[in-house]
Amino acid sequence: MTQHPVRTARRAQITLTPARGRLQAIVGGRARRPRRIAMLSVHTSPLHQPGTGDAGGMNVYIVELAKRLAELNVEVEVFTRAVTSDDAPVVELAPGVLVRHVTAGPYEGLLKEDLPAQLCAFTHGVLRTEAGHRPGHYDLVHSHYWLSGQVGWLAAQRWGVPLVHTMHTMAKVKNAALAEGDTPEPAARVIGESQVVEAADRLIANTAEEAGELSHHYSARQDQLAVVHPGVNLDVFRPGDQAAARARLGLPQDAAVLLFAGRIQPLKAPDVLLRAVAVLLEREPGLRDRLVVPIVGGPSGTGLAKPESLHKLSAQLGISDVVRFHPPVGQAELAEWYRAATALVMPSYSESFGLVALEAQACGTPVVAAAVGGLPVAVRDGVTGTLVHGHDPYDWAHALHPYATEPTLVRRQGEAAALHATGFGWGTAAAATADVYAGALHQPVGRLSASRLRLA
């Protein structure tokens, strides 16, 4: 069989220099950062509006990380699935950041659960793009979410480069904390995640707790794990004039505004907020005249099956007069909602980190959040907000009551929240991530690293 000349040359290079990553990665006695990386986001595009469909915190994460990496002279090419025939093959997201749309399956009508069947087509598109460049075009692959990881370990092995992977969420963790009536993650995802962990040279976890979950549930090794806290765009999300924000959004100036912002699905538990509000009003009917509960976001995941469920629930609970539904908004308007809010409420059953908690705090707004996942890192309990254990509406009503009735508490925690958020800039996160890349180039440790070197 005729061999591909580019692949043959590269395989010979790898075979002759088994310490390839180290030889390329050491410059001036220290590990160097990559010149260009392939970043994979199969199921959701960084160009999509967060807050609806499958677009959420991961989209924000990829956009902000890629931009800041480019500022550090690390070029980023993000591969994502084309979902319309109008998607341009290549879009410049920012200087040094390209988004490449890969055709894999029909443009429309595919749910995230349908995408595993399209991974072969997506992988072909990624490999074909790289084959059009000179050997060594990409120094490293960084995949996001398990679907991308499946593509990532094949591409990394083919190109002879390290694989860095960020889970964002994990099936075993989600299944251990399912909302009532929610659908468990399938066994195929658990198997796929285990394969990605086995292949990865580095696994980036948002928190030490997430690193522990990777170790406990997926047998990740310590030499694979790196903890990098996500960041927040401090140029967009910053304190401002609450009165002006409320005027622009049509909210009463004297209202107690308990805001939910995010994808509407059982995992995010907006129903817990509505049930808590019903309890709150039952206990203190006088609050009804000044309580406003905006739900900013769109249906996602299993929430797509019942897009009107929250509207019906608010009617059943008798609180439709205080609940306001709004579609997803861009970052600038979302910052206005945060500034207008008395508190952001996050009753999630599971959160890898909870970027919206950081965004709200950066705007000077305290957060009432479930004590799950990365939220105990994002929110300082009793200082920048309140952490609630469990999802009992009565417990949530008790936690929310001071925010609806004690302006001094809201003001004090809001000031502390803004200060707390300044420690989570994306520049810091990008620099730490670039250092993880350098370490992976210098010393790849994935269980498939040896097989990459033996490609024949």
Q: According to the annotation, is 263 in a ligand binding site? A: yes
Q: According to the annotation, is 100 in a ligand binding site? A: no
Report d(CA 301, CA 439) in Å as an integer.
35
Q: According to the annotation, is 413 in a ligand binding site? A: no
Q: According to the annotation, is 339 in a ligand binding site? A: yes
Q: According to the annotation, is 57 in a ligand binding site? A: yes
Report d(CA 364, CA 107) in Å as an integer.
41
Q: According to the annotation, is 145 in a ligand binding site? A: yes
Q: According to the annotation, is 54 in a ligand binding site? A: yes
Angle formed at CA 69 by CA 42 and CA 163, multiple of 5 degrees: 50
At 213 the three-state DSSP class reads helix
Q: From the CB of residue 63, how many other CB atoms can be counted at a distance below 10 Å? A: 24
**CB–CB of 225/18 below 8 Å?**
no
3-state helix, strand, coil in the chain (%, to 5): 45, 15, 35
Q: According to the annotation, is 312 in a ligand binding site? A: no
Distances (CA, A) of 71 to 41, 204, 216, 382: 21, 20, 36, 36
Assigned token pair, 13 = 């290079």
Q: According to the annotation, is 403 in a ligand binding site? A: no
Strands (E), 52-162: 75-81, 90-94, 97-102, 140-144
Q: According to the annotation, is 61 in a ligand binding site? A: no
Q: According to the annotation, is 338 in a ligand binding site? A: yes
Q: According to the annotation, is 50 in a ligand binding site? A: yes
Q: According to the annotation, is 55 in a ligand binding site? A: yes
Assigned token pair, 369 = 């959040």
**CB–CB of 136/116 below 8 Å?**
no
Q: According to the annotation, is 113 in a ligand binding site? A: no
Q: According to the annotation, is 447 in a ligand binding site? A: no
Report d(CA 295, CA 273) in Å as an integer.
10
Q: Which residues carry a binding-site annotation for 1D-myo-inositol 3-phosphate?
A: 43, 54-59, 112, 145, 169, 189
Q: Which residues carry a binding-site annotation for UDP-N-acetyl-alpha-D-glucosamine?
A: 49-50, 57, 263, 268, 329, 351, 359
Q: Which residues carry a binding-site annotation?
A: 43, 49-50, 54-59, 112, 145, 169, 189, 263, 268, 329, 338-339, 341, 351, 359, 365
Q: Which residues carry a binding-site annotation for Mg(2+)?
A: 338-339, 341, 365
